[in-house]
Amino acid sequence: MAAAAAARPLVTVQYLENDMATDGGAANSVPLPDVMKASIRPDIVTFVHGQISNNARQPYAVSKRAGHQTSAESWGTGRAVSRIPRVPGGGTHRAGQGAYGNMCRGGRMFAPTKIYRRWHRKVNLTQKRHAIVSAIAASAVPSLVLARGHRIEEVPELPLVVSDTTEAVEKTSLALKVLKQVGALPDAEKAKDSHAIRPGKGKMRNRRYISRKGPLVVYGTEGAKLTKAFRNITGVEVAHVSCLNLLKLAPGGHLGRFIIWTKSAFEKLDEIYGSILTQSMPTLMIL
């Protein structure tokens, strides 16, 4: 699947309006990083995503007294009824009903949940990095990006690399213009139009609304101003190239996230993830 990306050794840098003089018009292309040619492993991505997603869970458990807040006792044998504990008394429907058991109305659940469950999962570091590399490589394959539901019909090229002047954008209105110039605005509008109320009980649990994912903007300069400009656009996410997370590169464990790279971030991929001639960064400096 990475053959489509490997067939193009150079990637064109998409310049914005009025920045040719400041960003250098001669260098209008950059070499394709070797990480874009890596093998795509959906099995590893799905497994790692499922494991690291568990780390965000909050412990929960039922009450220790749930289902046992009654003075039920078994009637014993000889009455032609089961030996389940029964509520005492008379003159009411509740009297004589079974209690405590998980098969009884108002009884406790089977194997009550405990807060000391093993909530978190450890993932091998090399396996985690392999999943991130696979997700980055999949973002350069148009068929996978389209299959994930992104609107890239107007995008000139994948992977999409824009000039570094994008990192200086401070206003959301200018950020929308940048998305429009590179053909990524339809994908952002898709995410905005998909804003809806979640079905089910999640509405009552602080996750009332859902929306689809838009493009991911990856920048390479620490403290870049574009974070404030893009963070207010529904569905658009921002990440530094040295802090790429599988939860952003492959939301839901599905490969093919639409990524917009700045030129500086794109040029750092070989330094971070390594190439044929160079090693990757130490494991302590990157996930």
Distance CA 30, CA 20 (A): 16
Domain extent, residue 44, equals 3-58+121-285
Inter-CA distances, 145 with 37, 140, 149, 216, Å: 16, 8, 7, 12
Task: Provide the residue-wise pLDDT of the chain in tens; the chain has 287 residues.
Answer: 444 444 568 888 888 876 654 444 445 888 899 899 899 999 999 999 999 999 999 999 999 999 999 999 999 999 999 999 999 999 999 999 999 999 999 999 999 999 999 999 999 999 999 999 999 999 999 999 999 999 999 999 989 999 988 888 889 999 999 999 999 999 999 999 999 999 999 999 999 999 999 999 999 888 888 999 998 898 899 999 988 999 999 999 999 999 999 999 998 898 888 776 677 776 545 55
The answer to whether position 87 is within a domain reads no
The answer to whether position 94 is within a domain reads no
The answer to whether position 187 is within a domain reads yes
Q: Closest Cα partner for 188 from 201, 172, 204?
A: 172
The number of domains in the chain is: 1
Contacts (Cβ under 8 Å, ≥6 apart) of 95: 87, 88, 89
Q: What is the pLDDT of residue 240?
A: 93
The answer to whether position 146 is within a domain reads yes
The answer to whether position 244 is within a domain reads yes
The answer to whether position 106 is within a domain reads no
R_g over Cα of the chain: 27
Contact between residue 257 and residue 213 where contact means Cβ atoms under 8 Å apart: yes
The answer to whether position 261 is within a domain reads yes
The answer to whether position 101 is within a domain reads no
Contacts (Cβ under 8 Å, ≥6 apart) of 178: 16, 162, 166, 169
Percentage helix, strand, coil, to 5, in the chain? 35, 10, 55
pTM of the model: 0.82
Q: What is the pLDDT of residue 215?
A: 94
- Residues for the chain: how many in total? 287
Two tokens at 39? 């093998």
* Residues in a beta bridge with 197: 209
**What is the 8-class DSSP label of residue 212?**
-
* CATH number of residue 149's parent domain: 3.40.1370.10
